[in-house]
Structures are given as structure tokens and as C-alpha cells.
Chain A
Amino acid sequence: MPVEEQVCALAYEGFGFTYEQGNSEVVRDLSLQLSQGRVVLITGPSGAGKTTVCRAANGLIPHEFKGNMRGRVTVAGRYDSRRYSVSALSKLVGLLQQDPDTQLFNPTVEEEIAFGACNYGLPAETIRKRIERLLELTRLSEHRRKNPHQLSGGQQQACALAAILAFDPQTLILDEPTSNIDPLGSQEVLTLVARLAREEGRATLLIEHKLDEIVHLVDEMLVLDRGQVLHRGSVREVLEHVEYIDSVGLSVPQVTLLAARLRSAGWPLPRLPLDVSEAVALLEPLIDGPALVSLPAPASTCGFSSGPDRAGGASPGAESVIEVSGLSHVYRDGTPALHDLDLQIRRGEFVAILGQNGSGKTTLVKHFNGLLKPTSGTVRVAGLDTAKASINEMATTVGFIFQNPDTQICKLKVYDELAFGLRNLGLPEKQVRERVQQAAEDLEIVHLLDKNPFLLSMGEKQRIAVAAVLAMQPSVLVLDEPTTGQDYKRAKEIMDLAVRLHAAGQTVVVITHDMNLAAEYCQRVVVMAHGRVLLDAPTRQAFQAREALQASSLRAPQVTQLGQQLGSPWAWLTVDEALAALSAVRKGAGDGA
């Protein structure tokens, strides 16, 4: 059925919104129509207004989030969102929010899924059948009697999605449904969503940062920035502007960006690839295969084994700063999290700890600063046994930067926030002042010292949180999922900061799901699965180990996969490396073609 003849499941007409406490519109003049069976993607950096668009779909705006709404949002062609309640509109428009933790409030998975369907008075037999189907679809059958808060991040997200699908809304709005999930888990959730849209004729509006995984799943794409639509069209049309989109700080498919750069350099590419297989098909005829095979390893790299390190990492003979020996940890409820784990991290290393949800990454690093004590085995950091060291000793040895700066900020003035840890250590006020000033200068937040941190932007809060930890001058810095819930630009800002600290001699340990960032920044990769270390190798070598990555639901960056498929003996870790390698082996490059 042509789009024009279909019932419009959801329509925004000149929609604009200013929050009650804000003074400018977070979304301006948005017009968008969602038809049945179509998947529309909205992407954009933090603060673009994406969540506001979602909230307006089922009436949370204007009913629950107050402010000034312009234009109109109409559901199923006739229900004006201003005139119907949220619960009435939600029967037709299911909204899945970003953080699954706050969307799960029933005692069991089964009851969680049934909750919405029961509220809408669906027949009991229908609900039972749907529960069974959804449990199977989301692979939660064996967890049906568990408390949803006992599930892993990915399973929680799947449970929240099933709870929406149970009442069969015509339209589905998904606000970053994979923000807490590992790469393969994300792919599964997004494929499921797209499949349901096609098979059941559901209109779907998807908000996502991770474009790699969805380019083939969506029909239309909008790029939103500061409340306005920058680009819209099919994914292929929009990604023609890939370099511009990259410049505003969005994560774009690496192979698309690479091809765009090659085209700018004069490569005859008729179109930009959207995935690795398209890229292989486009580039293979243009390169000299044997030359690629004999190409030396990239010179500029972050891997240990293959050249000088960009950020000046640990020398192979450097002393161990973290020594984990025979570490096992069992949580109080009896859940085993780590099994007889051994690991050594040398002073000055920049290490990524990767692994799927529930693999034990966070449990491991919480042992580094004594937040968790080993059930058996030992953890020594800078010579201190973390099970015996005092809080002061651990705080000055390991700086822990949490995912969400709101977890950490506790003072009403930035200066006091930076001074908090130092005062806890009992340092004299003069020394506190000097260290605060130094940390503020390092993080370029001197101008914020008199401000209230709670009134600052998320990016500024993140810098304050980092500065407050750095003021303690720890020998090891641990970053817990610095990219979760952040757009690519902000994630890169945090990682660039880590690089600066690393260059100054800091040992950095990063937990992340983001393979592109791990490849770009880290020297060494530790892959965990089921509470054990599955792979521990220099980054370049680790991303060549396809089987080990797959076993832990991970996947190498697109450019690495491209290199492998084109026959490169070395793993390419960044777009720049791929660009350099391909430029060197372009057919006819040597004879001036």
C-alpha cells in the first residue's frame, strides 16, 4: 500500500516545546508522519531534543512534563495528544524509555510483561498467550519468575520492550533502547524491533546513536541538532552527508566515513557503503590485493606489539601496578561473579576491559579500589592489598570515575566539590586550594569554580567529576562505561581527557562496550566472559581474534572487519589507519593514475 493511502499512525505538525523551567524551545517546528510498517530513525547529539520528541508521542508532553507546546501531535489520525490522557494514548503508542531500571516495577518478569496488557483489559487468555510468545521472543522464558532487577542490562531492556509489546500498540517509540547493551545484544534487540514493524505493520520511531547496527533496518532517518532537523531522507541519502554528521559529533558507520574520505581523495566510488560487505564489494576492485598483504603494520598505533605508542605507554619492563591473583567473588545473594581470575596491569598502561553484560567487568574493577572485597584470592594495587588497605589509602591510589556524574556530585559549589576528597583526606587548606586550582586548570573549569554544579550541563558535570578525582592524584584511573548514555562527541571528549592524563604518566583502565573507542584509544584489551578473562592481548592482536570476541558477544570495529575481509594481515583500528593503508595500495596509485 502506498504511504499516502495508509493511516498515519503518528503525526507531528509544526511541533515545538519549551520546558517550564527552560527559556528556549528544545524542539522547533518538527513535522513528521509515521506510517504503519515503517521504521523511522532520529539521531542527534545530546541536547538535540530527541527525548522530547518521544515524550510528545504518547502525551507525556504536555500532560506530565509541563511547558509551552506549539503545533500538534495526532495519534492514529484522530486523537489530538492535548485532549487525551497519557494512559489512553499509550494504548496506541507504546513508549520504551532509555533506562530500563526505572521502568521495571513488578516483582516478576511475567507480571512485568502482563502489567500493561492487564491495565488495558485485554482478555486473560490473550495475555497469557502473548506472555508466552514474548518470553520466547526475548529469550526470557527461563527468567520468568525472577525479579526484573536481577536481570542483566540487556535482559532488562528486552523485558521492558516485551512489556510494551504485550498490549500490542500500533506505534512503538523507542528511546535509545540499546544504551545499556553489548554490541550483539543491541543488534538482536534492533533486529527484533524492525522485524515486528514489518511483520505486524507497526509504525516505529527509533532514537539511536549507534548507526552501525541499524542502517539496514530503517526506512527514514532524521538528524536532529539543537531542536532542528538538519537532514532527513533514506539512510543512504542522509549518510551522503556523513562527514558533516561526523563533525557534529555523531557516531557514523566507520566504513561510510572511510568511503566518503576516499571519495574526497579522488577514489571513483559511485555511492557510499552502509556496511562492511558493501564496502568490501566497492573497494576490492580498486585496491592491489597482494600489495595489501605485504603492507607493513601501521606506524601510528596504540597497540603494544606493533610500533610506538601514540600516548607514550608503559614500557614492557614496567612494574605491575595492579596484580590480581586467583580472584573469585560471590555476591551476598550467592551469585558467583568472578572465578579464579589472574590479571596484571603495568604502570602507564591504557587498558580496555570489554565483555558482554554480566561478564564481571564492573565487579572486577570495584576490587581495584576496595569497593568490593575478594571472596578468595588477592588484589594488590600499587603494592597495597585492597582487602586490608584503608579508605584513604585506596582513594589516593585509585581514582574511580563513575558512569553518571550525578552519582558523585554532592556539593553546591564546584570548588567544594573538587575539595571534597582532599578534605576527607585531612589535607591542610592551603594544599587543598593548590590542588583544586591545578585540577580545575587541567580540566579547563576554572571559570566554573564558584558555580553550582547541579545547574551546569552534563558535559561540564562530567569534567567536574573527573577533576574532583584527579585532585586526589591517584596512580590509577578507572573509567566505568564512560560512553554509556553519551553521544559520540562527549564520549570522545572523556577519552581524549583520559589520553592527556595517560600521557602525563597515569595508568588508565576503561570499561566499555564501545569497540570503536577501545580500538582507537587503548593499548591493551582484556575481554571477559562469565567472570573469567577470555582474551588478554595488545589491541591490534585482540581485534584480530574474531572467535574470542564473538564468544563474548563483541565485534571488532567496522574498519577492522573491512581490513580482515580485504586481506590485510594487520588489524586496522581507526578510520585514519584504514585510509592510510588503502591509499597505499590503491590500484595505479604508484603510476599516477
Chain B
Amino acid sequence: MALELSYQDRGSVIHRLDPRVKLLWWLSINITLTTWNDPLFLFLLLASVFAYGRIARIPVWQGVKQLLPILPFVIFVLLANIAFWRPAHAETAHFIGYVIPRGTPVLPPVPLYWETVVFSVGTMLRLLVLVESTLVLIKTVSPAEMALAVARMGVPPEIGMALSMTIAYIPVVVAQLVSVMEAQQSRAWKVKTSNPVARFRAYTTIAIPTFFRSFQAAEAMAAAMLSRGFGYDIDHRTELEPRRFSGQDWVLTALFAAFLVGGFLLGFFGIVQYTLTMRLLGFH
């Protein structure tokens, strides 16, 4: 499982791209994401991430399967949004009913609007796009390549190392997580419960040892990278297969940069807002 979450050279056109282009792809997706909340567009964005992954020869089922462990968290976010998010103008919003009816002891009434549902689905999709695009990035850029790419962009080597370590670190954390889960399962710890709150609480049990062991691993990994000369002299580092920015890299850079600017502006000016889907659903 840990290896499925690490870089695998599948020899695709995406793998052959300059790492900076892949980083730009990820940034264009995720910066755009911050300004969009329309479920339809977010769904198309998620589909584009899967398509990009497919070009990188990552099977769609693998991407879907790797989203499953975060589903409790995604559902939690969805429910939290439904409970707490209200449209700006409740008086003109499309009321469905009450999640918590009026007159319930202790609890305040929680009304539910179509706007809330559409917006909450958008938020959920945002989270999925963020996670899936990050997974695709991790699987298509090697950690060392990433550190060098960032350093060559003028970013201090320490930041490059931190970024590279984050990527290299994911399979290590996953491996730690698996062994922690096995240790707890041996003591009758159960996570397979249909109650999302119980499931969330069950996960907190494994968070402590995973965090503790991951912290130790991070320290050791940073020491190992420095002990092998990371950041010694970035400008004169040897490249066994020197990579030049090819025509393909330039074309995709232009494409991703255009998407970044365009997508951001569409969101910024309120065009890709949840109201768009509301109108498509016939709510005016």
C-alpha cells in the first residue's frame, strides 16, 4: 500500500515532463480550487485530474481506491457544512425542511436549503480534487527531482528539501500507519463501524503512535538527506541525464498558466459559484 503512494516511473509522457511543469499543473488546479465552489465545475475539475492521471498510466480504480480512506473525513466535512452553512439571503433561499426540527430540546433548529446542499457538495468535491491531485503529483514526480526543480527556481534548498521530504515521507508514514493499525487491531481495535463519529474517534487512537513514529522518521530522513550532501552546491550538482525544458514542457506550461489565470479570474469574479448549478437545476 505504501508503495502505491510513492513515485513510480511508468514511463508516460507525464513522467517525462520537467518537474516544474508538473508542479505548475498542481498549483493551477489547487489555486483555482480556492476560488471555485460550483459542484458542476468542480466535478469536471476532478474528472480532469483523473484524466491527467490516466495519461500518466495511473489506473482510475487505483485513484478511486485511494480516496476511500478519507471518505469518513469527507463525509464529516459534508455534514458539518450542511449543519452550519447558510445562504447569505435565507429569506430568498430554497427551503427544503429542518435537519433538526424546531422545538427539539437543547439543540437549535437547523434548516436545510437547496443552496446548502449544492454548496456542501461543492466543498466535498474541492477536498477530493485537492487529495487526488496531490496523489497524482506524488506518483509522477520523484522527491529528489522535486527538490532540485524547486531549488533551481531560486527557492532556498531547505524549502526544496522540506518539499521533497514531504513527498518521500508519505509512503513512510503510510507504512507506519499500517503497522500501528495492525498493532491496535491485535488488541481488538475496530474501525469498521457505520457510525462516522465512532469511526472518527477510532482513528484518533492511531493518530498518536503514528504521529510519534512519523516524527522520529522525519528526523532520521532529514539527517540522511543532509548526510548525503543535499544542498551542498545546488548550482554545480551533477545531472546524470540532464533535462532541458522541451517544447512539450513550454506548451504545457503555457496551458497550465492560462488555466491558472483563467480559472482564478472566473472564480474571483463569481462566475464559477454554486449559483450556476442552482440555476441549471432550475432554482432562480
Contacts and interface: CB of A to CB of B under 8 A. Distances in A.
Nearest to B225: A105
Given A149-B171, A410-B209, A424 B187 contact: yes
Contacts of A117: 238
Contact of A409 (B185, B188, B209, B224): B209
A127 interface: yes
Interface string A92-127: 001101010111011110010011111111111001
Given A107-B7, A119-B232, A147-B6, 20 more contacts: A86-B223, A86-B226, A87-B231, A101-B172, A102-B172, A105-B165, A105-B169, A114-B240, A119-B233, A120-B232, A121-B233, A127-B240, A391-B188, A395-B185, A395-B188, A407-B179, A407-B183, A409-B212, A410-B209, A469-B186
Contacts of A350: none
Interface stretch (A195-203, A316-324, A396-404, A566-574): A396-404
A115 B144 contact: yes
A19 interface: no
A454 interface: yes
B172 A60 contact: no
B238 A410 contact: no
B186 A400 contact: yes
Given A102-B220, A406-B209, A107 B187 contact: no
A147 B7 CA distance: 9
A410 B188 contact: no
Interface string B216-252: 1100111111111111110011111000000000000
A112 to B, nearest CB: 9
Interface in B10-45: none
A425 interface: yes
B89 to A, nearest CB: 47
A120 B227 CA distance: 11
A332 to B, nearest CB: 8
A571 B94 CA distance: 85
25 contacts: A55-B223, A85-B232, A87-B227, A95-B227, A102-B221, A103-B224, A105-B143, A105-B225, A106-B142, A107-B143, A115-B144, A116-B229, A117-B238, A118-B240, A124-B240, A127-B240, A391-B189, A396-B188, A400-B182, A407-B176, A407-B213, A408-B183, A408-B209, A409-B209, A420-B189
B183 A424 contact: no
A114 B184 CA distance: 39
Contacts of A147: 3, 6, 8
Contacts of B212: 406, 409, 454
Contacts of A333: 3
A463 interface: no
Among A123, A391, A411, chain B packs the most CB atoms within 10 A around the CB of A391
B213 A118 contact: no
Contact of A402 (B164, B169, B183): B183
Nearest to A420: B187
Interface in B163-183: 164-165, 168-169, 171-172, 175-176, 179-180, 182-183
A464 to B, nearest CB: 12
B6 A399 contact: no
A456 interface: no
Contact of A107 (B142, B184, B189, B223): B142
Contact of A64 (B8, B222, B237): B222
A82 to B, nearest CB: 16
A105 B183 CA distance: 25
A101 B168 CA distance: 11
A150 B9 CA distance: 14
Nearest to A57: B227
B245 to A, nearest CB: 19
B230 A87 contact: yes
A118 B237 contact: yes
Contacts of B222: 64
B59 to A, nearest CB: 13
B152 to A, nearest CB: 14
Nearest to B234: A119
B48 interface: no
A90 B228 CA distance: 6
Q: How large is the interface on A (under 10, 10 to 19, 20 to 34, 35 or more residues)?
A: 35 or more
B187 A472 contact: yes
A115 B228 contact: yes
B188 A163 contact: no
A102 B176 CA distance: 11
B189 to A, nearest CB: 6
Interface SS, B side: helix
B168 to A, nearest CB: 4
A115 B212 CA distance: 28
Interface of B: 1-3, 6-9, 142-144, 164-165, 168-169, 171-172, 175-176, 179-180, 182-190, 205-206, 208-209, 212-213, 216-217, 220-233, 236-240
Contacts of A410: 180, 184, 205-206, 208-209
Contact of B223 (A64, A119, A406, A468): A64
Nearest to A147: B3
A380 to B, nearest CB: 18
Nearest to A98: B220
Given A105-B164, A149-B3, A167 B229 contact: yes
Contacts of B187: 395, 408, 420-421, 424, 468-469, 472
Contacts of B7: 107
Contacts of B176: 407
A118 B1 CA distance: 30
B35 to A, nearest CB: 34
B22 to A, nearest CB: 14
A200 B208 CA distance: 46
Contacts of A122: 238
A128 interface: yes
Task: Determine which residue in B189, B216, B223 has the highest number of CB atoms from chain A within 10 A of its CB, and name it.
Answer: B223
A587 B221 CA distance: 58
Given A118-B240, A149-B2, A90 B227 contact: yes
A22 B238 CA distance: 41
Contacts of A404: 213
A251 interface: no
A128 B190 CA distance: 50
B32 to A, nearest CB: 29
A64 B231 CA distance: 14
B8 A150 contact: no
A115 B8 CA distance: 17
B175 A111 contact: no
Contacts of A106: 142-144
A91 interface: yes
A561 interface: no
A366 interface: yes
Given A87-B232, A102-B217, A121 B238 contact: yes
B66 to A, nearest CB: 13
A137 interface: no
A369 interface: yes
A88 interface: yes
B224 A90 contact: no
Contacts of B179: 402, 407
Contacts of B220: 97, 99, 102-103
A393 to B, nearest CB: 9
A392 interface: yes
Nearest to A105: B168
Nearest to A421: B187
Residue from A108, A399, A404 whose CB has the most chain B CB atoms within 10 Å: A404
